[in-house]
Amino acid sequence: MRTMYKLIPFLLLAAPALTAQDKNAAGYPITPVPFTSVKVNDHFWGQRLKASREVTIPLAFRKCEETGRYDNFVKAAHPSESYKVEGYSFDDTDVYKTIEGASYSMQTYPDKKLDRYMDSVLVLVAAAQEPDGYLYTARTMNPLHPHEWAGSKRWEKEEILSHEFYNLGHMIEGAIAHYQATGKRNFLDIAIKYADCVEREIGDAPGKEIRVPGHQIAEMALAKLYLVTGRQKYLDLAKFFLDKRGYTSRKDEYSQAHKPVVEQDEAVGHAVRAVYMYSGMADVAALTGDPAYIRAIDKIWDNVVSKKLYITGGIGALHHGEAFGKNYELPNPTAYNETCAAIANVYWNHRLFLLHGDAKYYDVLERTLYNGLISGVALDGGTFFYPNPLESDGKYKFSQGACHRQDWFGCACCPSNLSRFIPSLPGYIYAVKDNSIYVNLFMGNTAQLEVNGKKVNLRQVTEYPWNGDIRVEVDPEARQAMALKFRIPGWAQNRVLPSDLYTFADQKQAGYTVQVNGKPVKSELKNGYFTVDRTWKKGDKVTLHFDMQPRVVKAHEKVEADQGRVSFERGPVVYCAEWPDNNFTISSVVLPENPAVEVIDRSDLLNGIKQLRTGAQSLFMENGSLQAKNVQLTLIPYYAWSHRGDGQMAVWLAQDLSAVKLGK
């Protein structure tokens, strides 16, 4: 049902025009094609985008109304000692993140009512901003008795709990998306004013305070603000926040302050904070060329991909501290894998691709996207996971007191983060460098790109991820020499990850073919890309085929939780066994050494999926003796679990008797 947005009753102010000093800065070595240039019309992702547009974003806005997020801005515009400051010190960010997602969505699906609604909300936000730009309702609404996490004065508790810089980061991210989608400056100017306030008061110069973000994100946001405005001071502030980390009051692993960032080589501490920081480090590495930053961020990435990444692309193994575990510490039923961490993992790998131009980063990004990220939101867009475990007994309440997705959380970072990420997806498909176009993700879309100053239209047609056939139609303005670089996924090259953390355990060999206008072409892969370099004309077509068959995966021998077990995947999709499809105890199953796997088309189930089915045995005790019965084990995509009630689920399934938990 289409949501009718009701205007927040405040007068809309006109936004000033772009000023001369606001101009794009030099950016990454590779330039992403922005979300404003790509329209996704894909069946798989079209459903997700529709659910986000019609359910997730309206739900998030409604929750901002119902939970007093908007009221906080109204109160901050009219401060009073009588106000009791409640909730979290970062509740403002739910408003910013939802506006960000709505802005992305409107680029594909214009909505005048939604546009006016956001403008009315932004009037509330602008009215809450103090004259010097400071905007933090948790303090401003009652300066004498602010939020208990805020401290008695600005920035006092930033490195612990206040989240003042975190609020700034999400404000900037939302404001830039809103500006790019609408061309309006009303949100961007608010964000610039707050950024200028922070830049005036924080730094090395006399009279300034030295503070670093408690919860990182301002670093990557300030780098983005530099790219949009061309103002060097924002990039300098981002680098300052990173350079000073480990030299202030905090020196703990939880906040990645245990050593200077350029000396770090292992992912530690709170996973979301960490990977937002790593994304900011990638920004600084790319935009400054600082070799110390490049070396550090590459080492940390290698550590995650070789020792700390779940098969679903999830990160952050531990509930305690919402943190990375030790190397190879990847438990399944108690896996935390916060949805926000999966989103952060996409941001990080996207930046590393833009820096290095290697397809391996998109291999990780794609794995996260199709599995550990979209598992965080229901197919209808209305309920959410905070953690994303790889096993459930239907009893352990891993999801904030439940075994299933919920419609909101008191700490609502995951729902609002999903509301902003899903609509931004069109901006991850393509990238451009000189006369080259990178084709990184496979989904139905139309795109208008610019290569060497000339317009090029692309149309991609595919049923990916359910089959491996992709057609790309090329339509340049005129005959044009350029190189199309197609990512050949690691799984199509018989590689699970760009590390030995997981490997294929079967004897199958995947392959791929590339044709131009129906004729096979050859090219040596370079950095994971198949390059077709030619003079293109209107009507040219490239056809890719990836062999897409079920594969059996095993984990590195040091991953204790997965020993004696295997998992299944097909293409980019990881599978799991869930109780509604199997009338036996899932943990009691033992698989044969070489399981034969059948692919079953279930267009009627879970918005349309491909099931996997294989023979197995279910073990159980009867009259004091071990018994076995032959069963058909059915698997569904991991992202689709927990839509049919609470019960057993497992990604890793026993192939050795030592890994079996007997049924009754």
What is the set of active-site residues?
322, 413
- Does an H or E element contain 621, and which? strand 609-622
| Residues 6+ positions from 473 with CB-CB distance below 8 Å | 458, 459, 460, 461, 539, 540, 541
Give dist(CA 108, CA 38) in Å, integer. 8
Count the alpha carbons within 13 Å of 123 in the hemisphere toward its beta carbon: 13
Query: Which of 416, 342, 398 lies closest to 372 in space, CA to CA?
Result: 342
Sign of the dihedral defined by the CA atoms of residues 134, 136, 142, 144, in that order: negative
- Could you tell me how far CA 29 lies from the centroid of its own chain? 22
Q: Say if strands 589-590 and 653-654 run parallel, antiparallel, or are unpaired.
A: unpaired
Query: Which of 513, 521, 519, 520 lies closest to 547 in space, CA to CA?
Result: 513
Phi, psi of 229 (to 5 degrees): -100, -20
Give dist(CA 609, CA 595) in Å, integer. 21
CA distances from 489 to 236, 266, 438, 496, 612 (A): 36, 26, 13, 9, 21
Q: Looking up tokens 């004696």, which residue turns up? A: 564
- Around Cβ 394, how many Cβ atoms within 10 Å? 15
Q: Looking up tokens 């943990």, which residue turns up? A: 587
- Around Cβ 462, how many Cβ atoms within 10 Å? 20
Query: Which of 44, 54, 107 lies closest to 424 in space, CA to CA?
Result: 107
Give dist(CA 111, CA 103) in Å, integer. 10
- Does an H or E element contain 288, and which? helix 271-288
Give dist(CA 326, CA 334) in Å, integer. 14
- Around Cβ 450, how many Cβ atoms within 10 Å? 13
459 — alpha (psi -120 to 50), left (phi > 0) or beta?
Answer: beta
